[in-house]
Amino acid sequence: QFFRELSLEDQIREVGENLPYADGIEIVDEMSLRYPDPGEEFVRKWFGWMERYGTVPVTMDVSFDVLQFRDHVMSHDEVAERLMRDMRLAKRLGFRNVRVLSTCPFEVMLKALPLAEEIDIRLGKEVHQPMRLEGQQVSEIIEYAERDGTRHLGIVPDFGIFGFRPTE
């Protein structure tokens, strides 16, 4: 994708045709789609690709450029509104999971949680280096989910957290 060697459909075909034990598709919304609204024609094509290549939408990754406006930094309310818009898009495309970057404030996730529960989208925060599984950013999510009983809020560990030094 980065080198524009494969279109989104080509990438989905690669998964469906060349990865015999994988069928799940994960995308980064802003990189993969005409964002924020890819249009109904794209949605029809998307589900056609899923059927044609035997793949399923699994996770849509979202991020927030809080500096996208020249006149202000986005507030938590503005970021939560954007997250909720992205969750609706994920649902429209058949995804069951939305992954936010490790920099997403817990308060933003909590503001979006009622919608996640309403539309049955699981909202997960990426746990990425230098975060640790034992850290506050992870424990506050786990403790809240256990206390509240929600199955729509959690963490998505990146395996890089288990590294102790850069690879050679």
Q: Could you tell me the end-to-end alpha-carbon distance of the chain, in angstroms, rounded to an integer?
A: 26
Instruction: Specify the DSSP class assigned to residue 156.
Output: E
For residue 63, what pLDDT is reported? 83
- Residue 74 has what pLDDT? 81
For the stretch 87-126, pLDDT in tens is: 999 999 999 999 999 889 999 999 999 999 999 999 999 9
Predicted confidence at residue 71, as pLDDT, reads: 78
What residues does 107 pair with on adjacent strands?
none
pLDDT tens string 46-66 = 999 999 999 999 999 998 765
Distances (CA, A) of 76 to 14, 83, 110, 159: 38, 10, 10, 28
> Which residue has 């999971």 as its token pair?
97
Among 72, 76, 128, 152, the one annotated catalytic? 128
DSSP conformation letters of 66-77: TT-SSS-PPPHH
Q: Looking at residue 66, what is its pLDDT?
A: 59
Angle between helical axes of 106-119 and 136-148 (0-180°, round to 10): 40
The model's pTM is: 0.91
CA–CA gap between residue 114 and residue 122 (Å, rounded) = 11
In angstroms, what CA-CA distances link 4 with 8, 11, 14, 155? 10, 11, 15, 31
Instruction: Give, for 146, the enclosing helix (H) or strand (E).
Output: helix 136-148
Q: What is the DSSP string of 91-140?
A: HHTT-SEEEE-TTS-HHHHHHHHHHHHHHT-EEEEEE-TT--TTSHHHHH
Q: Which long-range contacts (CB under 8 A, 24 or more apart) does 74-79 make?
A: 76/105, 76/107, 76/108, 76/111, 77/111, 79/104, 79/105, 79/108
Q: pLDDT digits over 64-78, tens only?
A: 765 566 677 888 899
> Is 72 a catalytic site residue?
no
For residue range 2-49, what is the model confidence (pLDDT) as tens digits? 788 999 999 999 999 999 899 999 999 888 999 889 999 999 999 999
